Amino acid sequence: MPVLLLAGAGHAHLAVLRALRRACPAGWHVVLVEPQARINYSGMLPGWLAGHYSQAEIGLSVAELLAGAPVLWRRDTVIAVDAEARRVVLGNGQSLDFDLLSLAVGGQQAVPACRTPFLLPLRPLAGFMAAWQDWLRALPPQACPRIAVAGGGAAAVEVVMAVQTALKAWPGSEVSLLAQRDALLAGHADGVRAACLRQLQRKQIHLLDARLTVNAAGEACAGDQPLALDLLILATGSQAPGWLTGSGLALDAHGFVLADAGLRSISHPVIYAAGDVCTRQDMPHARSGVHAVRAGPVLAANLLACMRGEVVRARYVPRRASLYLLACGSRHALASWGRWHASGALWWYVKRWIDRRFLRQQRTAAMSLSDSPVRGD
């Protein structure tokens, strides 16, 4: 029986699961490899950090997602792909052969090799959330922690403001953003960057205008200054999974899978990739949840066409501009859409409505067709 292997329960695979639930082509065996039992929605993570949401509100259980889908769940991690042999190797050492492979494994957090003990990478999100809770629980009431978030992208900005909100119960705490001023919110309009700087200032978050480096002694530094901190959160953007290097797949200069408009690998037509793990050869775009979600229906249409032996036609055409809503810790958000921007409490409520609706839709889609039990091993 031919096998469709879905690697990772990334955003685009949520649409694939919905499509498979509606009409799985007969004669195919579908396997999802995903290490986490709960996937946390990154868009709501800053809201969780700031105390607006509970952990249950921002997560989806994989078993819940797979309810009613004719999919076998292997709770494991892909650690290697052999594109020629059509085989993946799992963390437990087993290998799985596939006829069709779809990668939605996202990116990884780059962690600098340094001796500093207080580093906390944002990804994987589950690990970050557990470590943050432990750190916060261990903080004495009279503590004055010094904490910095490294990174200049939207995630770093949202996380640093959420951390500042979370630490309000510790009035002596010092919160900093370690990012080069010029690179802050790159790709967003100047007005958004200026509004962000104003928010940082208003919240007394220091901008350490430097890059994160590691000195010869192995210490984490802001530029060439060793950092004296209690915690450094790494939110420095996505890095390609290292195991893609030996896969035989065509990759871009940074190791991400090169895909065409149909999200198909440009070197191996039986392999698809969507979300942060891929780079569009014809139309490179930002790595963001927005694109990962929108690519989902295209990926689903093309995978199902392949399974039915039909011509692959769907193309993912990224919009010229997408709406980004950046939560500012308290109930306030910055809205950014191309050159346009706005800010205020209204946008925070819009963001909350969009994020909650997204999760509700995933849960409802699973529940409405959940007659058959989830298969797992």
Ligand X SMILES: Cc1cc2nc3c(=O)[nH]c(=O)nc-3n(C[C@H](O)[C@H](O)[C@H](O)COP(=O)(O)OP(=O)(O)OC[C@H]3O[C@@H](n4cnc5c(N)ncnc54)[C@H](O)[C@@H]3O)c2cc1C
Tokens of 127: 């690990």
Tokens of 242: 């290292």
Instruction: Select from 36, 61, 213, 370 the one that contacts ligand X (CB under 6 A).
Output: 36
Whichever of 55 and 225 has its CB closer to ligand X, that residue is: 55
**Shortest Cβ 126–ligand X spacing (Å):** 8
Q: What would the 3-class secondary structure string for 97-108 be? A: ECCEEEECCCCE
Instruction: Find the part of the chain contacting ligand X (CB under 6 A) among 9-17, 94-102, 214-222, 223-231.
Output: 9-17
Torsion sign, CA atoms 253, 257, 261, 267: positive
Tokens of 157: 């900005």
Instruction: Find the part of the chain contacting ligand X (CB under 6 A) among 22-30, 43-51, 179-187, 253-261.
Output: 43-51
- Between the alpha carbon of residue 92 and those of residues 78, 88, 96, 195, 366, the distances in Å are 9, 12, 11, 48, 29
Does 157 participate in binding ligand X (rule CB under 6 A)? no
Does 158 participate in binding ligand X (rule CB under 6 A)? yes
Query: Using CB atoms within 10 A of its CB, is residue 343 exposed (0-12), middle (13-18) or buried (19+)?
Result: buried
Does 33 participate in binding ligand X (rule CB under 6 A)? yes
Does 106 participate in binding ligand X (rule CB under 6 A)? yes
Q: What are phi and psi of 103, to 5 degrees?
A: -105, 120
Instruction: Select from 4, 5, 6, 8 the one that contacts ligand X (CB under 6 A).
Output: 8
Q: Convert residues 162-201 into a mask of x (bound to ligand X by CB under 6 A) and - (unbound).
A: ----------------------------------------
CA dist 253 and 240 (Å) reads 10
**Shortest Cβ 66–ligand X spacing (Å):** 13
Whichever of 78 and 221 has its CB closer to ligand X, that residue is: 78
Torsion sign, CA atoms 44, 45, 50, 53: positive
Instruction: Select from 20, 69, 104, 333 the one that contacts ligand X (CB under 6 A).
Output: 104
Does 288 participate in binding ligand X (rule CB under 6 A)? yes
Does 287 participate in binding ligand X (rule CB under 6 A)? yes
Render 275-292 in DSSP notation, one character per residue.
Answer: GGGEEESSS-----HHHH
Say which residue the tokens 């980004």 belong to. Answer: 324
Restricting to residues 304-363, name those near ligand X by CB under 6 A: 324
Whichever of 149 and 221 has its CB closer to ligand X, that residue is: 149
Residue 275 near residue 292, CB atoms below 8 Å: yes
Question: Strand, helix or coil at 30?
Answer: strand
Whichever of 105 and 221 has its CB closer to ligand X, that residue is: 105
Does 292 participate in binding ligand X (rule CB under 6 A)? yes
Q: What are phi and psi of 212, to 5 degrees?
A: -75, 125
Whichever of 36 and 239 has its CB closer to ligand X, that residue is: 36
Whichever of 77 and 330 has its CB closer to ligand X, that residue is: 77
CA dist 331 and 350 (Å) reads 11
- Between the alpha carbon of residue 161 and those of residues 80, 120, 326, 334, the distances in Å are 37, 16, 10, 12
Number of residues in contact with ligand X under rule CB under 6 A: 35
Residue 199 near residue 161, CB atoms below 8 Å: yes
Does 59 participate in binding ligand X (rule CB under 6 A)? no
Whichever of 80 and 139 has its CB closer to ligand X, that residue is: 80
Residue 164 near residue 157, CB atoms below 8 Å: no
Does 262 participate in binding ligand X (rule CB under 6 A)? no
Instruction: Select from 4, 5, 6, 10 the one that contacts ligand X (CB under 6 A).
Output: 10
Residues in contact with ligand X by the rule CB under 6 A: 7-12, 33-36, 39, 42-43, 45-46, 77-78, 104-106, 122, 154-155, 158-159, 241, 275-277, 287-290, 292, 324
